[in-house]
């Protein structure tokens, strides 16, 4: 069932620029060449009856309900599979057509349950609607014949039910799984009357290859596949367009709501078919895992306590805000104004992050503000700013549909960015080539109808050596686009880089010893990428979370510039951002050294602009980054912290170090939905509001600003931006905004790349990709088109420097980390949903050879030790990881994945090196004693850190 | 701040600019990076450490630290 109120045009729009004129039921109109008759009719306001057609899927022509008459042609062609032709005259209504449709509908109805009143799709069932349209109130075949009745429902999936009794065999679910999602988990098994939808090899949905994206549920015209919430909560009655709060794809949704005695409640999240980032698709998190917003664990009452060993005391908003402000003022009075700071959140809106950094700069009067992007994509900002001139990806997602060669580096799109992965897979099925650089065999290496042309399975920590080797081949084999470079890039920097990269030390043969990637594969992959008309690079945290993260980003930009793959659709360098608003949090001035729009705090002109607008003197020196804050907390020069919407104690590396720092703080204020791990060390807890409870905007990985709209009232009574305003006022710096639109207006006044952004324009255009200003009033899908933002592109010498984190006889394996599809980041949201059915613990992936030598079998508890700490997890034996490498996720606090990661970091930005930790893994017979040892170590601050 | 940590970070910055920049420009590039991205208290500590000999700092890192201007006390 697609979203309520949506008018389905039946078949996808034609992209042809040529048009033809046709006549439909006497009405003349012009439509693009290649348009189906069904869609043309829809554009003329004529709804042709249909069941197997929907505008997100290719026409199929199986239901025989959409028959039409065409003047001068025999028969009754299906309007979904017949394209218009110039001068065509079409009739969609006639006595004969009515008779034919009536007969078809009678057959459908004769084999369908007639319990519409109790059906979850009642009122939104296409079969029900078509029966009414065709005037079928009874069937001449009777109801006594053989039917698909009494078949067992599949209720194994927590989010939807498959009721084969309701199925009309239209194949929309199968086609949605194939065309929209690209998993190909469903099929029509059997023949004739025995035809039946089958998940994988006739398995239950939960055990099949189904990834629960819900595309099949949305495509189903009946209640054969329907959300469980519809049966429990009933039909929604209205919807609010908003933006998903999970990954950086930023899917647009219609939050479908039912108003009841307890207020509004969300029944479904239906992906918005007009959504520019997702085009009507969604994943298991965005579509289904929204129940956390009303989970009983939500804390909706402010709380305070004097010491972290004290019990929490529930207080009013005013008391909590007053206490927090009083403590921050006391600390600043006793230890100086630089002794406090704040953290903005990549999960909160642009307007909220802007306010938190404004509070720190204006009310705290220092620049000790940072954001969780510090620990994920800060090297992207540094690397792309220096090489190209802007701290953001270069493309829109749709650009991938014009890519001929796609290079995926250190990203796992099918798990981390599933909706974009589906689009990428669509392009790959059309024939684009695929190169993957990853230590692990991610899902894209081999999937239905997809196989990577080259998987360069490098050793963790050797990214820069590998990107240099690829560039070496480009330069030394004459594959560089000299004309493009001469026109677009700095000649001196290119000459210097060319000399560096051509050095035999960077050749695939020389770097093979470090990377472990056979030289022949590197050469072949380089030739493929460099030879493409359009080569596009997509990368993730496997690039940034290294000691050379920034160097690697520069290396990627070097490679793209050298091959002319920047500045048009189909090419580019695109970071896949982990959280929903990482890009936005960075744009909004969350880093300690820069204001919104990436302008340094030492710039007197820029600072003057903000001082004038905010009527306060601002600091010209950079403040502390998150890891610096931890160090400063341990040396006593940093004693108070305001954290909005982040869980540093779980997400940041070297947990023991983080906990020691948090414990040392005199005032920690946590604003969150839940009492997270960090809140264990907090003195003030301020209830947060979920994305369903507030207004604002998110900016996704393609720089697309999209509206977040309030669907339900805030459970704790205040939206997050209102809480920040109250705290700022209590600190003595008053902010007066009546609505987040006024915050955005201020952002637009102060930020050159946002000059043209307003809520009015966002409502009108649907979304906007910045830069949006006088030069680009509707936004900028592709950056660096005529020239780079910095003018000429700059090549940087990217010498490979091995990380300090080395294996040894004591720590012989390398641990690297990542994500799974069903969970998100620290799991605070997804762990409080039925997504746990797919992944209810973090597992350690280990190669069978490494497991065998340690006596470890599938499911065994293992102890993982590093130079930073110890933890325990159960083992999964898999050849996805190479020998010598182990892998895990960090979604569950009890697994303590970050207890073992170290505080090594990127040289330029201090982004932690999550991806390389030397460990030993051993079979553990008593996991609880290991876990207890680990927890005890975390709770016991190290003497050296407290001195 | 742990001085060992500051020394490690400074050396890593210096390593990048040692290859990216010319020997003449590299100290200024490293110093510029520290000025742009380091909180003054961190710079004060590394400068004071450099003034005491800067053991553990690479030659380039030490040259860069010696170029830094001591931030005013606050």
Q: Give the relative orientation of helices A350-358 and A740-750 as an angle to the nearest 10 degrees.
A: 70
Torsion angles phi and psi, residue A712, rounded to 5: -135, 160
Lowest mean pLDDT across A436-445, A459-468, A555-564, A866-875: A866-875
Q: What is the pLDDT of residue A642?
A: 98
**Predicted confidence (pLDDT) at residue A310 exceeds the cutoff of 70:** yes
Task: Read off the pLDDT band of A774 (50, 70, 90).
Answer: very high
| Six token digits for residue A748 | 């637009």
Question: What is the rounded CA–CA span in Å between residue A685 and residue A672?
Answer: 8
Tell me the pLDDT tens digit for each residue of A779-789: 999 999 999 99
DSSP string, A687-706: E---GGG--EEEE-TTSEEE
Q: How do beta strands A640-644 and A667-672 pair?
A: parallel
Q: What is the pLDDT of residue A144?
A: 76
Q: Choose the closest CB to B16 out of A602, A635, A907.
A: A907
- pTM of the predicted structure, to 2 decimals: 0.96
Task: Read off the pLDDT band of A725 (50, 70, 90).
Answer: very high
Distance from CA of B47 to the nearest CA of A (A): 16
Question: Are A715 and A689 contacting, i.e. CB atoms less than 8 angstroms apart?
Answer: yes
Strand partners, A704: A769
Q: What is the pLDDT of residue A137?
A: 87
Lowest mean pLDDT across A61-75, A281-295, A719-733, A918-932: A918-932
Q: What is the pLDDT of residue A209?
A: 96
Tell me the pLDDT tens digit for each residue of A6-43: 999 999 999 999 999 999 999 999 999 999 999 999 99
Question: Are A780 and A772 contacting, i.e. CB atoms less than 8 angstroms apart?
Answer: yes
**Predicted confidence (pLDDT) at residue A599 exceeds the cutoff of 70:** yes
> How large is the average pLDDT for residues A132-144?
87
Measured CB to CB, residues of chain B less than 8 Å from chain A are 1-2, 5, 8-9, 12-13, 15-16, 19-20, 33, 36-42, 71, 74
> How large is the average pLDDT for residues A181-191?
96
Distance from CA of B35 to the nearest CA of A (A): 8
DSSP string, A312-340: PEE--HHHHHHHHHHHHHHHHHHH-GGGE
> How large is the average pLDDT for residues A507-513?
98
Question: Are A266 and A291 contacting, i.e. CB atoms less than 8 angstroms apart?
Answer: no
Percent of chain A with pLDDT over 90: 90
Q: Which 3-state string (H, E, C) describes A585-646?
A: HHHCCCCCCEECCCEECCCHHHHHHHHHHHCCCCCCCCCCCHHHHHHHHHHCCCCEEEEECC
Cis-peptide, bond into residue A777, ω within 30° of zero: no
Instruction: Tell me which residue of A226, A212, A221, A288 sits closest to A253, measured CA to CA.
Output: A288
Lowest mean pLDDT across A33-42, A329-338, A716-725, A895-904: A895-904
User: Would you call B20 and A796 a contact, using CB atoms and an 8 Å cutoff?
Assistant: yes
Contacts of B33 in chain A (CB under 8 A): 908
Q: What number of H helices and E strands is found in chain A?
A: 30, 36
Distance from CA of A916 to the nearest CA of B (A): 17
Question: Are B20 and B29 contacting, i.e. CB atoms less than 8 angstroms apart?
Answer: yes
Q: What is the pLDDT of residue A150?
A: 87
Instruction: Tell me which residue of A539, A495, A604 sits closest to A384, measured CA to CA.
Output: A539
Q: Choose the closest CB to B41 out of A632, A804, A910.
A: A632
**Predicted confidence (pLDDT) at residue A591 exceeds the cutoff of 70:** yes
Task: Read off the pLDDT band of B46 (50, 70, 90).
Answer: very high
Q: What is the pLDDT of residue A942?
A: 35
Contacts of B5 in chain A (CB under 8 A): 631
A801 touches chain B (CB under 8 A): yes
Q: What is the pLDDT of residue A261?
A: 86
Contacts of A621 in chain B (CB under 8 A): 39-40, 71
> How large is the average pLDDT for residues A111-131?
92
A799 touches chain B (CB under 8 A): yes
Would the ipTM clear 0.95, i.e. be above it? yes
User: Would you call B74 and A338 a contact, using CB atoms and an 8 Å cutoff?
Assistant: yes
Contacts of A797 in chain B (CB under 8 A): 19-20
Percent of chain A with pLDDT over 70: 98
Q: What is the pLDDT of residue A944?
A: 31
Q: What is the pLDDT of residue A926?
A: 73
Q: Choose the closest CB to A631 out of B1, B16, B40.
A: B1
**Predicted confidence (pLDDT) at residue A941 exceeds the cutoff of 50:** no
User: Would you call B16 and A602 a contact, using CB atoms and an 8 Å cutoff?
Assistant: no
**Predicted confidence (pLDDT) at residue A804 exceeds the cutoff of 50:** yes
Q: Choose the closest CB to A600 out of B20, B36, B38.
A: B36
Q: How do beta strands A263-271 and A252-260 pair?
A: antiparallel
Mean pLDDT of chain A: 95
Instruction: Tell me which residue of A323, A50, A262, A254 sits closest to A172, measured CA to CA.
Output: A50
Torsion angles phi and psi, residue A615, rounded to 5: 55, 50
A632 touches chain B (CB under 8 A): yes
Beta-carbon count within 10 A of A114 CB: 9
User: Would you call B36 and A602 a contact, using CB atoms and an 8 Å cutoff?
Assistant: yes
Q: What is the pLDDT of residue A947?
A: 27
Q: What is the pLDDT of residue A683?
A: 98
């Amino acid at each position: 069932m697609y979203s309520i109120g949506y008018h389905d045009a039946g078949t996808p729009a034609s992209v042809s620029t040529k048009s033809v004129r046709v006549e439909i039921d006497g009405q003349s109109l012009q439509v693009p060449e290649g348009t189906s008759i069904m869609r043309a009719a829809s554009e003329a306001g004529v709804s042709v009856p249909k069941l197997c057609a929907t505008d997100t899927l290719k026409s199929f022509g199986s239901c025989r309900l959409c028959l039409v008459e065409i003047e001068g042609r025999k028969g009754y062609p299906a309007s979904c599979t017949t394209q218009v032709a110039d001068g065509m005259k079409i009739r969609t209504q006639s006595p004969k057509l009515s008779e034919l449709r009536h007969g078809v509908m009678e057959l459908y109805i004769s084999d369908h349950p007639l319990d519409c009143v109790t059906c979850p799709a009642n009122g939104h069932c296409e079969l029900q609607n078509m029966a009414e349209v065709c005037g079928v109130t009874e069937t001449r075949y009777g109801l006594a014949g053989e039917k698909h009745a009494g078949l067992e429902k599949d209720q194994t999936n927590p989010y939807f039910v498959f009721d084969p009794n309701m199925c009309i065999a239209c194949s929309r679910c199968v086609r949605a799984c194939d065309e929209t999602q690209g998993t190909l988990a469903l099929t029509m098994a059997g023949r004739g009357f025995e035809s039946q939808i089958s998940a994988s090899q006739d398995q239950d949905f939960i055990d099949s290859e189904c990834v629960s994206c819900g595309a099949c549920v949305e495509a189903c015209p009946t209640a054969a596949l329907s959300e469980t919430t519809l049966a429990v909560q009933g039909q929604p009655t209205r919807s609010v367009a908003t933006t998903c709060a999970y990954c950086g794809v930023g899917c647009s949704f219609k939050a479908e709501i039912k108003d009841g005695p307890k207020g509004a409640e969300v029944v479904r999240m239906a992906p918005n078919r007009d959504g520019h980032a997702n085009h009507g698709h969604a994943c298991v998190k965005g579509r289904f895992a929204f129940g956390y917003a009303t989970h009983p664990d939500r804390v909706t009452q402010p709380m305070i306590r004097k010491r972290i060993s004290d019990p929490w005391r529930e207080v009013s908003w005013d008391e909590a805000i007053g206490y927090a402000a009083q403590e921050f003022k006391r600390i600043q009075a006793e230890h100086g104004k630089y002794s406090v700071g704040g953290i903005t959140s990549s999960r909160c809106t642009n307007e909220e992050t802007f306010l938190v950094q404004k509070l720190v700069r204006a009310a705290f009067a220092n620049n000790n503000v940072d954001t969780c992007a510090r620990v994920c994509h800060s090297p992207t900002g540094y690397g792309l700013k220096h090489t190209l001139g802007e701290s953001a990806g270069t493309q829109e997602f749709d650009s991938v549909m014009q890519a001929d060669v796609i290079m995926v580096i250190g990203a796992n799109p099918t798990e981390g960015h599933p909706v974009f992965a589906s689009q990428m897979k669509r392009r790959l099925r059309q024939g684009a080539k695929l190169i993957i650089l990853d230590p692990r065999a991610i899902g894209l290496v081999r999937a239905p109808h997809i196989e990577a042309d080259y998987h360069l399975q490098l050793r963790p920590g050797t990214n820069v050596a590998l990107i240099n080797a690829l560039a070496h081949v480009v330069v030394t084999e004459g594959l560089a686009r000299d004309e493009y470079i001469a026109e677009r890039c700095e000649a001196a920097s290119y000459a210097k880089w060319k000399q560096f990269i051509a050095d035999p030390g960077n050749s695939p043969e020389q770097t093979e010893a470090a990377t472990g990637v056979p030289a022949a594969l590197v050469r072949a992959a380089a030739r493929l990428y460099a030879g493409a008309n359009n080569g596009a690079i997509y990368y993730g945290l496997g690039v940034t979370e290294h000691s050379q993260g920034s160097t690697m980003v520069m290396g990627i930009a070097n490679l793209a510039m050298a091959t002319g793959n920047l500045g048009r659709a189909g090419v580019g360098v695109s970071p896949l951002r982990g959280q929903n608003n990482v890009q936005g949090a960075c744009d909004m001035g969350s880093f300690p050294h820069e204001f919104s729009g990436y302008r340094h705090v030492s710039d007197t002109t820029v600072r003057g602009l903000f001082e004038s607008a905010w009527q306060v003197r601002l600091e010209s020196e950079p403040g502390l980054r998150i890891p610096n804050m931890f160090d400063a907390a341990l040396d006593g020069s940093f004693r108070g912290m305001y954290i909005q919407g982040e869980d540093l104690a779980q997400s940041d590396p070297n947990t023991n170090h983080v906990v020691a720092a948090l414990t040392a703080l005199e005032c920690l204020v946590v604003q969150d939905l839940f009492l997270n791990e960090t809140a264990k060390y907090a003195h003030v807890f301020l209830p947060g509001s979920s994305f369903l409870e507030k207004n604002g905007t998110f900016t996704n990985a393609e720089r697309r600003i999209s509206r977040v709209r309030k669907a339900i009232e805030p459970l704790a009574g205040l939206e997050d931006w209102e809480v920040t305003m109250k705290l700022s006022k209590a600190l003595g710096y008053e902010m007066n905004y009546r609505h987040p639109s006024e915050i955005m207006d201020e952002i637009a006044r102060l930020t050159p790349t946002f000059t043209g952004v307003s809520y009015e324009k966002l409502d009108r255009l649907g979304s906007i990709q910045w830069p949006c200003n006088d030069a680009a009033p509707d936004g900028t899908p592709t950056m660096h088109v005529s020239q780079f933002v910095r003018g000429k592109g700059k090549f940087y010498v990217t010498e490979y420097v091995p990380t300090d984190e080395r294996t040894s006889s004591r720590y012989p394996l390398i641990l690297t980390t990542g994500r799974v599809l069903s969970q998100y980041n620290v799991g605070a949201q997804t762990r409080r949903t039925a997504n746990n059915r797919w992944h209810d613990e973090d597992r350690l992936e280990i190669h069978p050879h490494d497991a065998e030598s340690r006596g470890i079998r599938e499911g065994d508890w293992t102890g993982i030790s590093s130079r930073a700490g110890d933890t325990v997890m159960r083992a999964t034996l898999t050849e996805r990881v190479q020998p010598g490498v182990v892998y895990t996720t960090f979604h569950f606090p009890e697994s303590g994945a970050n207890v073992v990661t170290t505080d090594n970091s990127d040289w330029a930005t201090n982004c932690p090196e999550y991806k390389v930790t030397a460990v030993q893994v051993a079979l553990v017979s008593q996991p609880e004693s290991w876990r207890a040892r680990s927890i005890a170590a975390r709770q016991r601050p190290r003497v050296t850190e407290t001195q | 701040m742990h001085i060992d940590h500051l020394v490690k970070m400074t050396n890593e910055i210096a390593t990048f600019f040692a290859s990216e920049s010319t020997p003449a420009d590299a100290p200024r590039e490293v110093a510029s990076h520290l000025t742009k991205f380091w909180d003054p208290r961190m710079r004060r500590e590394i400068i004071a450490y450099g003034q005491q000999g800067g053991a553990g700092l690479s030659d380039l890192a030490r040259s860069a630290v010696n170029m830094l201007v001591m931030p005013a006390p606050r």
